[in-house]
Structure 1
Amino acid sequence: MNPTATLTDTALAAATAVARLVPATTPLTAVPARPGTGPAPTATAVVASFVGSPSADLVLVAEEAVAGALLAGAEGGAPLALADALRPALEGACAVLGAGVLDSARTEPAGTAVADDALLFALERDGVAQAWFALRVRAEPSAVVQVPGVPAQRASMHVLYDVEMTLTAELGRTRLPVRQVLELTPGAVLELDRAAGSPADIMVNGRLVARGEVVVVDEDYGIRITEIVAGEQGTL
């Protein structure tokens, strides 16, 4: 498959992941944008940069599509910020792109956020665009120099060695409807899916890479690594 076809297929897979994770009231389907179509220049776009191999700029215009979800629990508390509500969808696109780090999201007008050379996709319902997703790759994987004697995957990571990544220690998870999330108050207790004393998961960009036990280091919390997770899920 030629590089252009690979990039197009990857972008469509990323757009499909976004469509699945956008908190719209009805399911959305990602399709390549038709010529001459796109978001209104004044529409609010959520923009984030992905640093990886390849690196890319991601743009999601979906304020109207998620308006109902944002306001669903407004009576019980403040509605979610648009960038916070759409970040899981952007993270879903990054999972398709591969290893890397997603920067914090910001909002700006779609007219300036969607670059002319970006791949644009409509997120449709019944053939009508409800939202838009744009992906602009900034570094082609083929641009990475192969290091003699080093596997291609490891060589491609050399460009990332000085990039700082955020590691997150996760004690457990639970799932709640948006309504209950917006109704949370100080003092509320959430039951997690992890027994007391179980090791904490150590995540990088949403991927499990290790497990460890919680310790205290100079009055700060720390994690003592007890296990490195091998295999696809634990591979950076």
Structure 2
Amino acid sequence: MTATVPAAAVAQQAAELLVEQLPTATPLTAVPLGPGQAPAADTKITRAHFVGSTSADLVLVAHDAIAEALAGAGAGVEAADILRPALEAAATTLGAGVLDTALEDTLGEAFMDPDMEAFVLVDADGAAQAWFGIRVRQNRTQTAPSAPSPSVGAAPIDERARMHMLRDVELVLTAEIGHTRLPMRQVLDLVPGTVLELDRAAGSPADVMVNGRLVARGEVVVVDEEYGIRITEIVTNEDGR
């Protein structure tokens, strides 16, 4: 079998990336869920599935924790919309693949699943503010030995066939021209006409992202009165180079 990262290690990293993106009033820390720390079975959750060479189910209980952000988001914005960036950040630990639409549901017995790595997200005082769970499913394949024969050469073909199934899956590409960080109080005070200073100089290339992962850079152009991106660089490694 090929070597794989333990599910617990992947889950811990996913939880840490998730809390960085949660729009909560105070910073949170992910701690493995202990006995008696799970919320009630009828608690509202946001769930999503990740499909790729490594697949996973993601469960997030954070409706109360983001209540302030949700109230200031305006009509038509749902909790799943606000929580999706956090779920996308968690999914980056799983490698290439697609995170499907985030849906509202109830917790049920999800945290009782023995394969579910669950965390309680606590504030600086140790009080539980939210919960996160991820069930990782490694899609394992056997590697061919040094002297392959026709009878043992099918595993790489099966892997390519699985990836071929994803070729027609639509991905959401996002162009980002810059970032900034604001405390929640300033976000809630935004009004039409507010100017936000970004961390990138005018004329710098925009980042092209897929599921929160940087894949290319390019320059902003106008095509038939609509914005577009002319790709100038393909990013090929995790360092963004």
- TM-score bin, normalised by smaller chain: 0.7 to 0.9
Amino acid across the alignment from 1:165: L
Partner of 1:136: 135
Most deviating of 6-15 and 85-94: 85-94
Q: Which runs of 5+ in 1 are unaligned?
A: none
User: In structure 1, the residue corresponding to 2:229 is in which secondary structure?
Assistant: strand
Partner of 1:89: 86
Amino acid across the alignment from 1:108: D
Cα 1:192–1:226 change in 2 (3 A) is same
Cα 1:114–1:2 change in 2 (3 A) is farther
TM-superposed deviation, 1:178 = 2.2
Matches of 1:195 and 1:86 in 2, distance apart?
29
Amino acid across the alignment from 2:218: G
CA contact (8 A) 2:110 2:116 kept: no
- Superposition RMSD on alpha carbons, in Å? 3.6
CA contact (8 A) 1:15 1:133 kept: yes
Amino acid across the alignment from 2:140: S
**Superposition pairs of residues 185-200 of structure 1, within 5 angstroms:** 185-200=191-206
Runs of 4 or more, structure 1, over 6 Å off, are: 1-5
Partner of 1:32: 32
1:224 aligns with 2:230: yes
Amino acid across the alignment from 2:139: P
**Superposition pairs of residues 102-113 of structure 1, within 5 angstroms:** 102-111=99-108
TM-superposed deviation, 1:59 = 0.9
CA distances 1:86-145 after superposition (whole Å, capped 9, x unpaired): 3332222112222223233222222276573533222235555332111123x4231587
Pick aligned residue for 2:187 from 177, 181, 185: 181
Tell me the TM-score normalized by structure 2.
0.74
Partner of 1:100: 97
TM-superposed deviation, 1:156 = 7.4
Count of residues in correspondence between the two structures: 227
Matches of 2:238 and 2:162 in 1, distance apart?
17
CA contact (8 A) 2:54 2:138 kept: yes
Partner of 2:17: 17
Q: Which runs of 5+ in 2 are unaligned?
A: 143-153
Tell me the TM-score normalized by structure 1.
0.76
Matches of 2:2 and 2:216 in 1, distance apart?
36
TM-superposed deviation, 1:83 = 2.6
Matches of 2:5 and 2:34 in 1, distance apart?
18
Amino acid across the alignment from 1:219: E
TM-superposed deviation, 1:205 = 1.5
Amino acid across the alignment from 1:215: V
**Superposition pairs of residues 46-195 of structure 1, within 5 angstroms:** 46-67=46-67, 70=70, 74=72, 78=74, 81-111=78-108, 116=113, 117-125=115-123, 128-137=127-136, 139-143=137-141, 146-147=155-156, 157-195=163-201
TM-superposed deviation, 1:60 = 0.7
